[in-house]
Each structure stands twice: as structure tokens, then as C-alpha cells.
Amino acid sequence: MRLVLSFVLFVFAWQGSVFAEKATQKKEVRPIMGQVFADISLLFPLSLDPEGFKKSDNKKPIMEALGRLSKSSRQLVGHVDDWPYSYKKTADKFSRAAEHSRKYFAAGKPELSQHIVRGMTQTCISCHVTAGGSSSQTQFDKFFGQLLKETLSPIELARLSTMSRNFDQAEKSYETQLSNDPKMILEPTMREYLLVKVGVKSDISGLIPVLEANLKHPSANQTSKARAKQFLSDAKKLNAKKALAKKNGGTKAIRDLIKTSTYQASLLNYVVALSHLNRALDVKTPDPEHLFLMGKAKNGLSPFFWVSDAEFYFEEAIVKKPSAPWAQEAMDALRDIYTFGYSGSSGTKIPSDVKTKLETLQAKIDGSKKPANL
């Protein structure tokens, strides 16, 4: 199964990606993307295996692939000047993650390296989710059709379908998993499903019967039922307000969506906000407040350090407008993210370069304040 998955990813790398398609005016990008996805095609299947990065036979090919990936992803960052802002940030995040993963693996920390590779794969998935759109027949269907449907688990198929831009199949596979295991509603996988169902397909009304079925599932426990009830309540409210309509995507409406979201509550408000913000940031010169709000939405959607790129948006927002009324809130959130991310059983150990970055950003905010009139 892993060999099939690896081959599939390689074929899609060769066929081209959303990145490459967005940058057809720069033909030299295609060879770089071919190398990026060829290496991901080797690393992704291994990252799905709990022991994949620990096996001695895999050490040399993983180290070589991570080295190439780090190099090619840095080259990619140098070719994104003409891309929309949302793609620039994705390339930057991907490059930083590749180097982190390489360093951890070289330092004898395969678990951390493996976790980052999963996050990098998630970056590929989120790139395709951001772009949106669907197709009745993709290269995915044409080349592999029923073979993969019989070989992969529903979640693996859903993720690969997302990367191949077959969102209809991705939606179906996520819902198959949810019907088999109602407790999926408590897992990070639920975020992926909501991003496809609501973020890409704009189908809040279709989510309602799925949640109602989840509540009635014989294997649902009290915790999953409580979460399903919260999702259902929010889905009905957002559907009634037509929250995904473009006319409801103004800055104030996005602020309100994020303001009424909490980690304990439904993720749906964050997903709707993210959908609007993806459109708003698909420009060369983004509104700094949109960057700040994207940071808040991303931070709410993913509590996992290395997978979320909320810190990128908070940092960019501060740099672009340190005098904004929300700048200190962004700074506090950024500091919390790094403090949490670099904390463990032995305490908090924030790297010196990160500390310097935080101090520099705080200085920008402090320096932007106008002195009081004497």
C-alpha cells in the first residue's frame, strides 16, 4: 500500500502542482517543484508509519531526501515574487519546515523530524484547499480510479484526493470515516473535513444532516455527542445567516466571527473566517489587519506547533503595521505560540534567534507609539 501511495504522489509531482500552475510565467519553477514533490513522495508514506523514520534501512534515503528538500524549497522561495501573497507565505513556511526537519533528523530526533514532515504534507493539502474549486474528473481518477479506493484507508484517500484537487472524493472519504468512527469529530482530522466541506465547497447546509447522523450513531459517546451538538448549533446559525456569502466577508464580519470563537467551541467560525480571508489575502499587497485576523483564525484551527503557520501571519502583521491597535495582541499571541512550542518536560528553551526576533518585534511596536504631549 505504501509503495502505491508513494508512486501516486510521484506521478502528481511529475504532472505538476497548484504551485507550478500558479507560476506558469516562470517556467524554471517546474523542475524545482518536480524535485520537491519527488522527495515528498518518498517521505510522506514513511511519515504515516510510526516506525518509518526510526528504521535503520530508511536512515540514508530519508537523510538524502531531507537534504534535497531543504535545498529545493529554499530555491522555490526565490521564485515567488509574482505569486499571490498566500502562495508566498506557503513557500516560506514549507522551506523553514524542511530545514527544521533535516536538522532534527541529523541530530538523532526522528520523531520530531517525522512530525514536521506530516506538517509539510499538511501544507501541501492546505495549499490546495486554499485554492478551492473542484473537478468531475481529475488526473487522480484518470490514472488510478478504483485501485486506490480499494487500497487506501478513508483518511489517506481523503488527503490524497485533496492534494489532487478532487474535493468531491475527499468530502466523501472524510464522511465515510466519520460514519465509521463518530469520535473522529474530536480529532484534528475533523478540521481537515471542515476545511473541505465548508471552506472549499461552501456547504454548511449539507453539513447539518452529517452532524445529525453523528449524534445518533450507536458508537458515539457523551464527549463526541457534546461536540457534535456544538457543531450542529453553530452550523444552523451560520447557515441561517448565509455566513459564507461574499457580501458577508467584510473585515468587521470576519472580526465578529473570530471574536465569538473559542478553542472549546466549534471550529466552524474559524473555518468560515478562513474562507473569507483566503480570498482577501490572494493579492500582492494584503491589508495588515487581514494578516492579523488570519493569524488568529489559524491559531484557533490548529493547536499543534509546527503544523500551524499562525506565527507567520502575526509576525507579518506587526512588521507591516506596528502602530495598529491590534499589534500588541498579535505580539502577545506570537510570544505565547513560541513559549508553548518550545516548552517541554525540562522547561521552556526558546532559541536565541527566536528571542531576538521577539525583542525586535516588540521594539517596533514600542517605537511606533507617539510620545505623549507635555
For the beta carbon of residue 347, count every other beta carbon within 10 angstroms: 7
- What are the boundaries of each domain within the chain? 1-131, 288-343+353-364
Q: What is the pLDDT of residues 152-166, one digit of tens each?
A: 788 878 877 776 677
Instruction: Give 14: exposed, middle or buried? Use CB within 10 Å, 0-12, 13-18, 19+.
Output: middle
Between 94-103, 128-137, 275-284, 362-371, the lowest mean confidence (pLDDT) is in: 128-137
pLDDT > 90: what percent of the chain?
33
Q: What is the pLDDT of residue 345?
A: 63
The fold adopted by the segment(s) 1-131 is Four Helix Bundle (Hemerythrin (Met), subunit A) (1.20.120)
The mean pLDDT value for 357-368 works out to: 94
Contact 320, 291 (CB under 8 A): yes
Q: Is the pLDDT of residue 44 over 60?
A: yes
Q: What is the pLDDT of residue 344?
A: 66
343 SS3 class? strand
For residue 348, which phi and psi values (nearest 5 degrees)? -100, 125
Q: Is the pLDDT of residue 266 over 90?
A: no
CA–CA separation, 37 and 124 (whole Å)? 10
